[in-house]
Homo-oligomer: A and B are copies of this chain.
């Protein structure tokens, strides 16, 4: 696959390099002026979001400036600048309708992640190989950060990809993931929102329970799906610093 850098900007000590790898649009965040290898974090966005959604940017900037990491974010299949097919649009519409009606979207969420996972895993594997060939990334240790849909696509990635050595996951239930989660072996920090109206508490606890990793920590906080406290970004930074040092 052809890797092309399409634009580059720097601000607040962070260099953002937009790239296209084959058909995958992505952004690489590194410390401004960085040279030589460094740990890399693959940052997976949530459902309906994209590679430069506010939450992705905020996380990427903190991981780069406070941890010295390189961070790669890509548009998930059918997200951001990528084409959407009819099956995706039908599923996404069904999820929106259910959630608006206050109904449990668990089945459709799992079907959506199932639709995207095969391509998403292949995308991340190709992106990982490509960005590690860059001088200012190199073949250092690799982590993955993804919650909600980022967790639904991250669990199969972690099961398939031995180069990823630690992961922050969460905000998702066990539906459709139990067997894949049981194959994980890397340290996991798992985030759970205690009052999540999209993910029943018991389903999320069951996904944490299903993780095969011997080192795994659950962090649960009050609040709904989108209300993860800011201090959990500090926790993620320290988690990656500990495991990717």
Residues of A near any B CB (own CB < 8 A): 192, 194, 205, 208-209, 214-222, 229, 231, 234, 238, 242
Contacts and interface: CB of A to CB of B under 8 A. Distances in A.
B231 A209 contact: no
Contacts of A215: 222, 229
Contact of A214 (B214, B220, B222): B222
Nearest to A223: B214
Contacts of A218: 192, 194, 218-221
A242 B209 CA distance: 30
A216 B205 contact: no
A192 B214 CA distance: 16
Nearest to A217: B221
A218 B229 CA distance: 13
A221 B216 CA distance: 6
A238 B129 CA distance: 36
A208 B208 CA distance: 17
Given A209-B194, A242-B231, A220 B217 contact: yes
Contacts of A220: 208, 217-218, 220
